[in-house]
Structure 1
Amino acid sequence: MSETIRKPALAPPPVRAAIARDSDPTAFLEAHFRQIWQTQMHDLPFVNPALAVEALGFIRHEGDWLGVVVTPWFLNLFLLSGGGQLWGDIPAGQRRFLELPCGTLQFIADNDPAIGPYQYCPLIAPVTAIADMATARQAALDALRSVFALPAPPRRQPRLPPGSAGRESPPRLLPTPGWSPARWSLRCRLRGIASLQQNARLSTRRCADVSGDTRAHR
């Protein structure tokens, strides 16, 4: 008795193993995306010509590289392999969830022929509403501060007198010292990617409003 092995109509893309980078990828990423901007993206309708290509804040976290890349068409959190524990090879287009100090964030895998595999967490796209590069930098730095901010510990509740069981208030989270609740909600550190993206957009709008007010008073 013969058996026919059925093959899926669409096979998953092959996994390309990432090469661990020993050095800071900032200059490498900037050169790559500047070339794309100059040769492929200029005439597309969703780009913001007020922005430039810049990589900000890349540091090692658990041995791998995390930072933000700003271009005229996206503002994303990037993860590149540095030979550490955070990176994991998956096919391009697939998603993985990573535990970071702020909570769980979703990253999407990509495989660029020029720079190899990388994974990104979309923060702001499209970026057409960002007024200028200074606003984009501020949004990127705010996002990085949020990503690496630890959730505050719960406040200890006072001991209640006998007979008051069942009437306790839910524990509240203390704000991180030095953190501005007007700019970033504590929830972005607890609810993961959805809140992080929402707060990044709010931060951008606030920066744009401040920039507009400053110009209006000149």
Structure 2
Amino acid sequence: MQNVINGFQLNPATQLEAAFQAIAASDMQGLPFFQPQIPVRACGFQLFEHQWIGSLLTPWMLSLLVLPGPEQIWQRRAVGEKLALILPCGNVRFTVGEINGCGQYLASSLMSPLDNHLSAEQALALAEHTARMALSLPVVDSSAPSNPGRRALFRLSPGN
């Protein structure tokens, strides 16, 4: 077993979907929280600071994932080890995971198990929005009062 993990030159979404679909087709189907109407889908994967980041939807969970990007080399870590990363959305806690066909990755569980009332369409939309929101900067106007009243609004002028 290598001590390093080489980065993915191309978007890893297809490989992630194949690897987690294999798990869905075998190990997970008999479990009570498995929702067969929910597809396995890697959503919104894109490069951020030279790493691939996106969300992974399966019939049992929704997670934010980070994998090494092109020309990146990660040191192998113990599966289950915790790491905190600073993303545009804020600090996010990840756990090291590993799966055949993809190697090691970082995962932050967002919903596990999935809400029983989610339709496939709702779950896919949630996964897409999650991937986009993780890399979105918070919108804050630091010059605006935290609780602007009518008078405070009049005191704000362009350029201040």
TM-score (norm 1): 0.61
**Pair 1:147-2:134 in alignment:** yes
Structure 1, unaligned runs of 5 or more: 1-13, 158-170, 174-218
Matched letter for residue 136 of structure 1: A
Is the 8 Å Cα contact of residues 6 and 71 (structure 2) preserved in structure 1?
no
**1:172 is aligned to 2:159:** no
Q: Aligned letter for 1:151?
A: P
Query: What residue identity is the alignment partner of 1:144?
Result: A
What residue is the counterpart of 1:93 in the other structure?
Answer: 80
Q: 1:17, CA displacement in angstroms?
A: 2.1
| SS of residue in 1 equivalent to 2:11 | coil
Worse-matched range after superposition: 128-137 or 66-75:
128-137
Using the alignment, how far apart are the partners of 2:17 and 2:100 within structure 1? 16
Pair 1:72-2:64 in alignment: no
Structure with higher Rg: it is 1
TM alignment of 1:184-199, pairs within 5 A: none
Name the residue aligned to 2:93.
Answer: 106
Q: Distance in 1 between matches of 2:80 and 2:39?
A: 26
Shift of 1:128: 4.1
Alignment partner of 1:48 out of 7, 30, 35: 35
| Change beyond 3 A, Cα 1:24–1:82 | same
Relative contact order higher in (CA < 8 Å, ≥ 6 apart)? 2
Gap regions ≥5 residues in structure 2: 148-160
> Where does residue 125 of structure 1 map in the other structure?
112
Per-residue deviation at 1:140?
1.1
Match of 2:6, SS state, is: coil
Q: What are the superposed Cα offsets for residues 42-100 of structure 1, whole Å, 9 maximum, x if unpaired?
A: 11111111211111100000011001111001110111011578x66532111111111
2:13 counterpart of 1:26? yes
CA distance in 2, matches of 1:119, 1:98: 10
3-state DSSP of counterpart to 2:110: strand
Q: Aligned to 2:46, which of 44, 47, 59?
A: 59
Q: Name the structure where strand makes up a greater proportion of residues.
A: 2
Task: Specify whether residues 131 and 20 from structure 1 end up closer, same or farther in structure 2 by C-alpha distance, changes over 3 A only.
Answer: same
Aligned length: 147
After TM superposition, the runs of 4+ consecutive aligned structure 1 residues lying more than 4 A away are none
TM-score, normalized by length of structure 2?
Answer: 0.81
Contact map agreement 2:17 2:40 (CA 8 A) in 1: yes
d(CA) in 1 for partners of 2:10 and 2:43? 15
* Letter in structure 1 aligned against 2:31: L
- Note the alpha carbon deviations across 1:149-176, whole angstroms, 9 max, x for none: 212233425xxxxxxxxxxxxx439xxx
Identity rate, percent: 30
